[in-house]
Amino acid sequence: MIRDAETLQILLDSIHQFVDEVLIPRENEVAETDAIPRDIVEQMREMGLFGLTIPEEFGGLGVTMEEEVNITFELGRTSPAFRSYIGTNNGIGSIGILIDGTPEQKSHYLPRLASGELLSSFCLTEPDAGSDAASLKTSAVREGDHYVLNGTKRFITNAPHAGIYTVMARTNPEIKGAGGISAFIVERGTPGISLGKPDHKMGQKGAHTSDVIFDNVRVPASQLIGGVEGVGFKTAMKVLDKGRLHIAALSVGAAERMLDDALRYALERKQFGKPIAEFQLIQAMLADSKAEIYAARCMVLDAARKRDEGRNVSTEASCAKMFATEMCGRVADRCVQIHGGAGYVSEYAIERFYRDVRLFRIYEGTTQIQQVVIARNMIREATH
């Protein structure tokens, strides 16, 4: 749902310009320094980018899902590290509080997340609990008016920058699966929290992940999201439904950027006396990429509109995430191919994008997990 087309267009234009004039020229700097420059963080704050999805009553822009995916198409056109820095506050780090938090939790945390004063992280994955998220072992034991948390969370995006962590932990050890899990908001400064070394990733330099270790961390009971035990896994799944749609939109934006770069290269690069864009085998790669991007864009918009209508889009979000991220991988591969040898050296952005986008098919649920979700939902609908 687009609330006001004109206002949205103004926002999209300003983000488009910001991406073209500020972010794209600094991509190499981010890759080389493995950091988002402070002045860019400041500009992102001023533009309200940390609070895009947080409702206006809490100081954000309160964009709808359809508006969000349109914005994400734009942000996807540059290094994913920029989007990652604001991504957790707009997505997996804040949505749990937004959808299931108590009024006090919302009013306490959301305004500071919206302004970018505070960063957040989503702590679900563990060393032994990745795709099988419901098997997580981090424990939260009630002691008076506190819970005591113990365990290790892995690959946590923005962990080194976050001021709060949304932590999924097992409050009921008797229930081995999803029903024993609760979600907590844990503040960074709480004694007993430490971080592992930053992960050395294949790509996405400038986006930081690490372990978050909880060693007898005492968390006030008031930090239990929604004040209800045993529903933390469902909170996490609802967060991921939305997150998956966001990653699908990001994949569309990144694929569009790679294809733009490849087309420009194919028009400039001459072989056999003419631009390689005139050769039909190059044209086939351009055309296949264009059509697949268009298909993914349509899927993302359709799923986003359905979510705005209040419909359950678990299936659509997984379809969009699976198709768009796999499409992005195919487009990355073809665009390296179009660049030829130049695609394998770091002078051209495609070499970096090829590594950066590989993660899209893995995080917020692998392609194989999306297949499981889609097929399970189909079977459930057919048999109930």
In the list 66, 126, 211, 241, the residue contacting ligand COS (rule: CB under 6 A) is 241
In the list 95, 96, 363, 374, the residue contacting ligand COS (rule: CB under 6 A) is 363
In degrees and rounded to multiples of 5, residue 170 shows phi and psi of: -90, 115
Q: Which stretch binds ligand COS (CB under 6 A): 8-16, 32-40, 60-68, 366-374?
A: 366-374
Q: Is 134 in the site for ligand COS (CB under 6 A)?
A: yes
CA distance readout (Å), 68 to 14, 80, 255, 317, 343: 14, 16, 18, 14, 31
Binding to ligand COS in span 21-40, by CB under 6 A: none
Least Å from the CB of residue 129 to ligand COS: 9
Q: Which stretch binds ligand COS (CB under 6 A): 13-21, 96-104, 128-136, 164-172?
A: 128-136
In degrees and rounded to multiples of 5, residue 241 shows phi and psi of: -55, -45
Nearer to ligand COS, 92 or 186 (CB): 92
In the list 16, 238, 269, 355, the residue contacting ligand COS (rule: CB under 6 A) is 238
Nearer to ligand COS, 241 or 256 (CB): 241
Cα 2 from Cα 218, distance rounded (Å): 43
CB atoms closer than 10 angstroms to residue 186 = 26
CA distance readout (Å), 30 to 4, 152, 256, 351: 34, 29, 21, 15
CB atoms closer than 10 angstroms to residue 314 = 18
In the list 233, 265, 323, 354, the residue contacting ligand COS (rule: CB under 6 A) is 233
Least Å from the CB of residue 271 to ligand COS: 43
Least Å from the CB of residue 377 to ligand COS: 9
In degrees and rounded to multiples of 5, residue 292 shows phi and psi of: -70, -35
Q: Are strands 209-220 and 193-195 parallel, antiparallel or unpaired?
A: antiparallel
| End-to-end Cα, the chain, rounded Å | 30
Q: Is 126 in the site for ligand COS (CB under 6 A)?
A: no
In the list 8, 35, 99, 237, the residue contacting ligand COS (rule: CB under 6 A) is 237
Binding to ligand COS in span 143-162, by CB under 6 A: none
Nearer to ligand COS, 199 or 333 (CB): 199
Least Å from the CB of residue 341 to ligand COS: 35
In the list 52, 63, 178, 224, the residue contacting ligand COS (rule: CB under 6 A) is 178
In the list 88, 120, 125, 251, the residue contacting ligand COS (rule: CB under 6 A) is 125
Catalytic residues, by residue number, are: 364
Q: Which stretch binds ligand COS (CB under 6 A): 7-15, 68-76, 238-246, 301-309?
A: 238-246
In the list 89, 251, 314, 325, the residue contacting ligand COS (rule: CB under 6 A) is 314
Binding to ligand COS in span 74-113, by CB under 6 A: 92
Least Å from the CB of residue 197 to ligand COS: 20
Least Å from the CB of residue 261 to ligand COS: 28
Q: Are strands 181-187 and 164-170 parallel, antiparallel or unpaired?
A: antiparallel
Q: Which stretch binds ligand COS (CB under 6 A): 11-19, 146-154, 164-172, 359-367?
A: 359-367
In the list 23, 136, 373, 374, the residue contacting ligand COS (rule: CB under 6 A) is 373
Which residues are at the interface with ligand COS (CB under 6 A)?
92, 124-125, 131-134, 177-179, 233-234, 237-238, 240-241, 314, 363-365, 369, 372-373
